[in-house]
Chain A
Amino acid sequence: MGELTMVEAVAMALARALDEDPDVVLLGEDIGRDGGVFRATAGLLDRFGADRVRDTPLAESAIAGVSVGMAAQGLRPVCEIQFMGFVYPALDQMLSHAARLRNRTRGRLSCPMVLRAPYGGGIHAPEHHSESTEALFAHIPGLRVVIPSSPVRAYGLLLAAIRDPDPVVFLEPKRIYRAVREEVADDGAALPLDRCAVLCRGSDVTLVSWGAMLTETLDAADALSAEDGIEAEVIDVCTLKPLDAATIRASVERTGRCVIVHEAARTGGFGAEIAARLAETALVSLLAPVVRVTAPDTVVPLLKLERHYMPAAADIVAAVRRTMEYA
């Protein structure tokens, strides 16, 4: 209980899960004694012991693969990859095994594991310490992809992910790990997976985003309201896969306009999926083309160019103004 940052809320959810279910086991590089690169597992080794909070050798492929085997036996492994950019050796295991175990065994086996990784830019780190490749995972049938955007949602969504019977890729926007504090009750209450959250109501345009980009999106919504009298509805996608398309569609049917914001590269980014869904189901309600505000199709640059790479509130405001020009 108390005012927590997102990373503290993650730690609290992990502690709660370890406490309530003896089958929960954490594993990852330097998560035990060091408490993790971002301190998301700080204190857990002391509290729950080395059998349940395991430091692993440096081997992402095995970390994920061993987790799949553990999960097939009914354990609930929560593995940590230090940065999303280091997850690719584990991608094979997630795609070829974690995601398919249930289907291959016609439900006789399942894979209740969580793979956690800090992701995204904005911390002045190069390439693989900054990237945002959630769409790779969202493309894989059988995986859930969950991204919190606040301490409260980090706590509730992570608990839901750990309790979920299927594999979840849980991506933590490290840019806002410590950006805000808010009251987070350690009540063990999970938030629903597979549901978008409507953060604020508005009738002129729907803004859709997730993770750290919601900060920029909410700033943009404030600016639009103050400067242009445009009232935006802001939706936090929370779970990219499976996508709660109905909530987004219902909003766009009311507003007639939609701007999707993500910090991942543009082509094949998850915004494309949302835009396609709207084209399929809400075209007749649209008053303007759906617009995406994204990073360009380039590699994440070093800090000097990062502000030109990452979408910012001003870019979102400009995009909304463009969609408003359609009568």
Chain B
Amino acid sequence: MATTTRRSSGRAKKPAASKDELLQYYRDMLLIRRFEEKAGQLYGMGLIGGFCHLYIGQEAVVVGLEATAKEGDQRITTYRDHGHMIACGMDPKGVMAELTGREGGYSRGKGGSMHMFSKEKHFYGGHGIVGANVPLGAGIAFANKYRGNDNVCFTYFGDGAANQGQVYETYNMAELWDLPVIFVIENNQYAMGTSVKRSTKSKTLYERGVAYGIEGEQVDGMDVLAVKAAGEKAVKHCRDGNGPYILEVMTYRYRGHSMSDPAKYRTREEVQKMRDERDPINQVRDLLLKGKHATEDELKEIDKDIKGVVNDAAQFAQDSPEPAVEELWTDIYAEAG
């Protein structure tokens, strides 16, 4: 099979989207953003321990791709995982309560911000070790193929993770065995304080797949419609039994790497320019307003609803009890019996 790779510019030909679709994306992206803003606040209040990696700025990636998933498809990602969980339908209350380390959280207060799972929503984590979730994603895809279903596994990782060796071991196996896995590189241009320019001489990250025979493309990750269009192609490729596909989604994180970030590796102007000119939520907002699909007031109403959902989640996350001391010894091994 000939390998084709291309850079698709989402902005060149904007795929059309219906009013309902646009409103859905708007809501989904805004929910993630407001959730993350709230998480940032709770962190500031000392309610979230350890680390907390916000997804603000990257919302279009996961929302665009979730729009292409069907029931049964799986997703697995890194520690920057709150957006993925919310986008695949997990309950914001359970996610927030896990951030605060409470009983009501998805890992019952034992996983924290980086380690949450939902079997029901086929969300396989939240993983703190950079790059290590990538082979897991291929293994999940292996099971799909082995069982003969047509599910695909969305396997998300960062530009920094793309320099880990196990990513390439996985590429090779996934292509060798035609595994239905979509490697989603969320290229937000930084790995902590290291910009992509300082970590690789590769012109793109998706083109590294060429060496393994994996098709892929680069996508404008600030444009949810472009992401969705590319995602549909990737999903079809995988479901049709053609093996893996790489999407390098060009995105940007507005906030620090985690809550403690010296922020010396980029300028404020750079961040502000992204926010002003490329913000994924504003782009959809503009489409909604210009297409007369919604009025300012209607959008305000949506924002109000979402704030309500997020406030409820925050309240739940503070009211939920702390895990009992006995929990320290649970779930290390299967209970005998």
Interface residues, chain A, with chain B CB atoms under 8 Å away = 29-30, 33-34, 37, 55, 57-62, 85-86, 88-89, 124-129, 296-299, 301-305, 308-309
Contact = CB atoms under 8 A, between A and B. Distances in A.
A264 to B, nearest CB: 15
B163 A127 contact: no
Given A34-B262, A58-B161, A128-B129, A301 B110 contact: yes
B89 interface: no
A59 B328 CA distance: 32
Q: Which of the listed residues A29, A61, A304 has the most CB atoms from chain B within 10 Å of its own CB?
A: A304
Contacts, number: 102
B265 interface: yes
Given A304-B323, A305-B323, A305-B328, A124 B49 contact: yes
Contacts of A305: 110, 323, 325, 327-328
Contacts of A298: 328-329, 332
B168 to A, nearest CB: 11
Contacts of A37: 192
Contacts of B192: 29-30, 34, 37
Interface residues of B, number: 38
Contact of A59 (B165, B198, B322, B332): B165
Contact of B328 (A86, A303, A308): A308
Given A33-B265, A58-B130, A58-B163, A127 B115 contact: yes
A30 to B, nearest CB: 5
Interface string B154-182: 00000011011110000000000000000
Given A124-B49, A296-B328, 10 more contacts: A29-B192, A34-B192, A57-B163, A61-B165, A85-B128, A88-B129, A126-B128, A298-B328, A301-B327, A305-B328
Contact of B112 (A58, A89, A126): A126
A125 B50 CA distance: 4
B323 A58 contact: no
B225 to A, nearest CB: 31
Contacts of A61: 164-165
Contacts of A124: 49-50
Given A61-B165, A126-B115, A304-B109, A33 B50 contact: no
A58 B49 contact: no
Contacts of B329: 296, 298
Contacts of B49: 124-126, 302-304
Contacts of B119: none
A302 B165 contact: no
Contacts of B198: 55
A57 B322 contact: no
A191 B334 CA distance: 47
Given A34-B264, A125-B51, A58 B160 contact: yes
Contacts of A55: 194, 198
A126 B192 CA distance: 18
| List of 8 A-B pairs having minimum Cβ-Cβ separation, nearest first | A303-B49, A57-B163, A34-B193, A58-B160, A125-B50, A302-B101, A124-B49, A57-B199
Contact of B101 (A58, A60, A128, A304): A304
Contacts of B112: 126, 302
18 contacts: A29-B191, A29-B194, A30-B193, A34-B264, A37-B192, A58-B161, A58-B163, A59-B164, A59-B165, A60-B164, A85-B129, A88-B129, A89-B166, A129-B50, A304-B101, A305-B110, A305-B327, A309-B328
